Amino acid sequence: MHVPKAVAEPVLTACALIIIILSNVASEVSFGPFLLVICAFGAWFLGNRFALLLSLFVASTQILNGHAPALEGSPLIMVLKFLSVLAVVLMLGVARAALELEWRYARVDQLTGALNRKAFFEAIESGGSRTGLTVLVYADVDGLKLINDQFGHDAGDRALGGLAHRIKSAIRKDDIFARIGGDEFAIILKVRDAHAAELVAKRLNDALNLDPLKGEVDIRCSLGVLVLPQGSKSIDAELKQADTLMYHAKKAQVGMMMAISIEGDMQAFAPPASSTSSDGQQRAAVRSARRATGLARSDDTPEGTLAA
């Protein structure tokens, strides 16, 4: 159960103030249980620090107003009551933190920080990418097995971690990024229009295949970029299409291939263009897809390229 902090914090504080005012107006009615519930919700939704501060605020206000029933007993009883309330509140905060940790372990890949395959499909099924223009990127790491064989699995893990960091730096926080296989990643991004889709594809390819790498191994990706005009309709079929694009990009060693999917059929999308990097190295190109066959074959001349 998740409530945004910007909502939970003012609502719980306002509820606490209302209960304090009511307890002063109708002193014969005990409002302690209501305040305990509010502090408990504070621990659950906002953490122990907020709950502790709210508890101290409520206790101090009631003491100053002379409406603290606990003061009527002995000091020992008063301390025991306060510690009992504090224990309940703190245990709820600890339970929430443990629950969130378990949730994260069940849905997040610990090596890369990306969602795992199960969480990726859950995010898609929740409806976040079912409408509007969406870009699906299928990324496959080139030469990971060779890195593992030459430098060891630790080097391969560090390379994957660095690659994931590059991807996160190139996308927004609300984009869906997942590791769906050992060396395979999927990214879902919402974009405004076709031009924005091209810019997103170019930025990802630049980050993963063109920018200088600062590490012990050189790791790059083959990307299959599929534009979904009406959002995701059948993620299994769309992943297969993006995987096919990625396969042809890997086979042709062009870094990335891009196409638009209309009613399940991939069409040519990228306009003709080319460019060269500042050091004279030919940039990886976005190859368009043939409508009749779904993809340009590696031995065919592509209908168009887009600098990426």
pLDDT at res. 130? 67
pLDDT averaged over every residue in the chain: 76
Instruction: Answer whether residue 137 is part of any domain.
Output: yes
Inform me whether the pLDDT recorded for 253 exceeds 80: yes
Mean pLDDT, range 189-199, rounded to an integer: 89
Of 81, 107, 133, the position where a domain reaches its end is 107
How many structural domains is the chain composed of? Answer: 2
Inform me whether the pLDDT recorded for 211 exceeds 70: no
Q: Do 133 and 16 share a structural domain?
A: no
Q: Do 74 and 32 share a structural domain?
A: yes
Q: What percent of the chain is predicted at pLDDT more than 90?
A: 17
Question: Residues near 162 by Cβ (< 8 Å), separated by ≥ 6?
Answer: 213, 215, 219
Phi then psi for residue 265, to 5 deg, are: -110, 125
Instruction: Answer whether residue 150 is part of any domain.
Output: yes
Q: Do 128 and 32 share a structural domain?
A: no
Instruction: Answer whether residue 156 is part of any domain.
Output: yes
Torsion on CA atoms 144, 146, 150, 154, rounded to nearest 10: 20
Of 107, 130, 152, the position where a domain reaches its end is 107
Query: Scanning the structure block, which residue is given the tokens 């953490």?
Result: 47
Q: How many CA atoms lie within 13 A of 265 on its CB side?
A: 7
Full residue range of the structural domain in which residue 200 is found: 117-307
Inform me whether the pLDDT recorded for 288 exceeds 70: no
Greater confidence (33 vs 292) lies with 33
Q: Do 160 and 49 share a structural domain?
A: no
Of 58, 79, 107, the position where a domain reaches its end is 107
pLDDT at res. 7? 84
Q: Is the pTM of this model over 0.95?
A: no
Residue 183 among the catalytic residues = yes
Instruction: Answer whether residue 112 is part of any domain.
Output: no
Mean pLDDT, range 29-53, rounded to an integer: 80
Confidence of residue 104 (pLDDT cuts 50, 70, 90): confident
Q: Rounded to 5, what percent of the chain is helix, strand, coil?
A: 50, 15, 30
Q: Where is average pLDDT lowest: 64-78, 118-132, 234-248, 266-280?
A: 266-280
Length, in residues, of the chain: 308
- Range of 90-99, 171-180, 298-307 with top mean pLDDT: 171-180
Q: Where is average pLDDT lowest: 59-63, 66-70, 208-212, 245-249?
A: 66-70
Q: Do 210 and 174 share a structural domain?
A: yes
Inform me whether the pLDDT recorded for 220 exceeds 80: yes
200-239 burial, b for 16+ CB within 10 Å, e for fewer?
A: bbbebbbbbbeeeeeeebebbbbbbbbbbeebbeebeebb
Greater confidence (97 vs 274) lies with 97
The closest of 240, 220, 221, 238 to 229, measured between CA atoms, is 238
Q: What percent of the chain is predicted at pLDDT more than 70?
A: 75
Q: Do 149 and 11 share a structural domain?
A: no
Q: Do 213 and 151 share a structural domain?
A: yes
- Of the candidates 142, 183, 243, 300, the residue annotated as catalytic is 183
pLDDT at res. 175? 92
Q: Do 16 and 62 share a structural domain?
A: yes
Q: Where is average pLDDT lowest: 148-152, 179-183, 189-193, 284-288?
A: 284-288
Inform me whether the pLDDT recorded for 242 exceeds 90: yes
| CATH for 144 | 3.30.70.270
Q: Do 189 and 96 share a structural domain?
A: no
Confidence of residue 308 (pLDDT cuts 50, 70, 90): very low
Greater confidence (291 vs 76) lies with 76
